[in-house]
């Protein structure tokens, strides 16, 4: 299920990332902000409990509470790290698991190099974060890996998505909720999103 955020403020943030004059420090700040807003959207369908809490009047109040410990925030290296603190700002008690995958620039296929996932994740909600949903290959691979670990629920947060990547996720991982800030036009022959914003990792990390 793909959710494209329909809010002009979000569009204006993404467009600041597209501007080649946006310096790395500012690029990172806006990436964090978008990540927070995407995380907020993703949490609206969580399970919330009602628990009585003491109130200033001396009475009890039925408060809405949320168990953050069920959430695992999962940045995909390298660019996903740029979104991590935004998600953690909303979910400081969540677990963080890092996935190391890079895209082979010739085959465009994902290659794993770091994975320390726990054996059983059946009680956990994994939130995968990666700024660019390009071919979708990396994210499909990450979702398949999470399923091997019986992950209870999976959500993907991305800043810019290509129609090709969205179509692939819809076809291959239809049970996963995907939240994206912008859907762009197409992928070029090198697997870059157009208009896009260039290499997200390079722009976040000033490389
Ligand atoms: N990764 C990026 O950083 N940018 C793209 O456009 C596609 C993949």
How confident is the model over 91-130, as pLDDT tens digits? Answer: 999 999 999 988 787 887 888 999 999 999 999 999 999 9
Residues of the domain holding 107:
2-205
The per-residue pLDDT for 166 is 98
Relative to the CA of 202, which ligand 1 atom is closest? 3
Spacing, Cα 198 to ligand 1 middle (Å): 6
Cα–Cα dist 114/100, whole Å: 4
- Tell me which residue has its CA closest to atom 7 in ligand 1: 192
Q: HSE, CB side, 13 Å, CA atoms: give it for residue 153.
A: 16
Identify the CATH number of the domain in which residue 88 sits: 3.40.50.2020
The per-residue pLDDT for 104 is 82
Residue ranges lining ligand 1, Cβ < 6 Å = 79, 132, 134, 191-193, 196, 199-201
Q: How many independent structural domains does the chain possess?
A: 1
The per-residue pLDDT for 52 is 98
pLDDT tens digit at each of 207 positions of the chain = 999 999 999 999 999 999 999 999 999 999 999 999 999 999 998 999 999 999 999 999 999 999 999 999 999 999 999 999 999 999 999 999 999 988 787 887 888 999 999 999 999 999 999 999 999 999 999 999 999 999 999 999 999 999 999 999 999 999 999 999 999 999 999 999 999 999 999 999 999
Which residue among 134, 137, 183, 201 is best mutated to probe the pocket of ligand 1, counting the most ligand atoms within 8 A of its Cβ? 134
The per-residue pLDDT for 182 is 98
Spacing, Cα 122 to ligand 1 middle (Å): 31
Which residue among 200, 203, 205 is best mutated to probe the pocket of ligand 1, counting the most ligand atoms within 8 A of its Cβ? 200
The per-residue pLDDT for 67 is 93
The per-residue pLDDT for 69 is 94
6: closest CA among 199, 167, 183?
Answer: 183
Relative to the CA of 191, which ligand 1 atom is closest? 7
Residue environment code for 30-58, b if the CB has 16+ CB neighbours within 10 A, otherwise e? bbbebbbbbbebbbeeeeeeeeeeeeeee
Task: Give the position of tokens 């809405």.
Answer: 64
Spacing, Cα 192 to ligand 1 middle (Å): 5
């Amino acid at each position: 299920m793909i959710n494209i955020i329909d809010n002009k403020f979000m569009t204006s943030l993404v467009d600041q990332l597209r501007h080649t004059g946006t310096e790395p420090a500012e690029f990172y700040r806006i990436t964090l902000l978008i990540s927070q807003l995407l995380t907020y959207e993703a949490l609206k369908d969580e399970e919330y409990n009602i628990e009585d809490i003491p109130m200033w009047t001396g009475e009890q109040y039925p408060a809405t509470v949320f168990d953050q410990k069920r959430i695992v925030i999962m940045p995909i290296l390298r660019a996903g790290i740029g979104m991590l603190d935004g998600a953690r700002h909303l979910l400081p008690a969540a677990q963080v698991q890092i996935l190391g995958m890079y895209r082979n620039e010739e085959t465009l296929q994902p290659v794993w190099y770091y994975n320390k996932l726990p054996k059983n994740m059946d009680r956990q909600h994994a939130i995968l974060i990666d700024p660019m949903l390009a071919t979708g290959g990396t994210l499909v691979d990450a979702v398949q890996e999470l399923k091997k670990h019986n992950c209870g629920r999976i959500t993907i947060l991305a800043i810019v998505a290509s129609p090709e990547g969205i179509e692939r996720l819809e076809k291959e991982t239809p049970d996963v909720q995907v939240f994206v800030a912008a859907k762009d036009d197409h992928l070029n022959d090198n697997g870059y999103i157009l208009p896009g914003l260039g290499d997200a990792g390079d722009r976040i990390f000033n490389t």
